[in-house]
Amino acid sequence: MVADDSLYVGTMEGKLVGYTLVSEPRLAAVEWWRFPPRGEPGLFAIYGTPFVEEGIVYIGAYSGKVYAIDGAAGIEIWEYPRDGFIGPIVGSPVVDGGTLYIGSSDGKLYALDVQGGQEIWPPFQAGGDIWGSVAISDGVVYFGSFDHKLYAIDAQTGAPVWDSPFETGGAIASTPFLHNGTIYFGSFDNNFYALNLDGTEKWRFEEAGNWFWGQAVAYNDIIIAGCLDHKIYALDAESGDEAWLPFETGGPIRGDPALVGELVVFGSDDGKVYALAAATGGERWRRTLEPPTQVRAPLFPGEGVVYVHAFNDTVYAFEMEYGNTIWSVTTSE
- Minimum CB separation from another protein for residue 89, in Å? 11
Rg (CA), the chain: 19
C-beta closer to another protein: residue 131 or 244: 131
**Backbone angles phi and psi of 149, in degrees to 5:** -110, 150
Q: Which residues bind another protein (CB under 8 A)?
A: 45, 47, 62, 90, 129, 131, 146, 148, 169-171, 173, 188-190, 209-211, 213, 228, 252, 254, 269, 296
C-beta closer to another protein: residue 99 or 294: 294
**CB of 142 within 8 A of CB of 162?**
no
C-beta closer to another protein: residue 6 or 168: 168
C-beta closer to another protein: residue 46 or 140: 46
C-beta closer to another protein: residue 206 or 321: 206
- Minimum CB separation from another protein for residue 43, in Å? 14
Q: Which long-range contacts (CB under 8 A, 24 or more apart) does 24-33 make?
A: 26/327, 27/317, 27/326, 27/327, 28/327, 28/329, 29/315, 29/317, 29/327, 29/329, 31/329, 32/6, 32/74, 33/73, 33/74
Which of 165, 122, 121, 120 shows the shortest CA–CA distance to 144?
A: 165
Distances, alpha carbon 249 to alpha carbons 94, 138, 231, 269, 286, in Å: 30, 37, 6, 9, 10
